[in-house]
Amino acid sequence: AGVEHTLLNLVRLRYGFGVEPLAANPSVQAVDVGLGVGFDAGVAQIDVGLMHARSIIGPGDFTEPLTGDDLKVYENRTAMAVTFSRGF
């Protein structure tokens, strides 16, 4: 789920979050958080977005047995995108 706000008719601010099971292993929950900002200067637009996801990985995802200290393993992923576009 996410929201976009238009500020001063030129700047767009976006944010959102989600919690979903992973397709490969439904018992693993992934938490996603996204942020973005866009600038519209008439014929040109610039968008910058950032997404961070955190998953809890279970013992079934490893080939070696886990010890008591390793019962919960967290995987973090971060992605950033910068987009420039121009209309004609």
Is the pLDDT assigned to residue 2 strictly greater than 70?
yes
Torsion of CA 63, 65, 70, 71, to 10 degrees: 100
Lay out the sheet containing 29-41: strands in order across: 2-7, 11-21, 29-41, 44-57, 73-86
- SS3 state of residue 64: coil
For the segment 34-88, what is each residue's pLDDT rounded down to a tens digit?
999 999 888 899 999 999 988 877 666 677 777 766 667 778 899 999 999 998 8
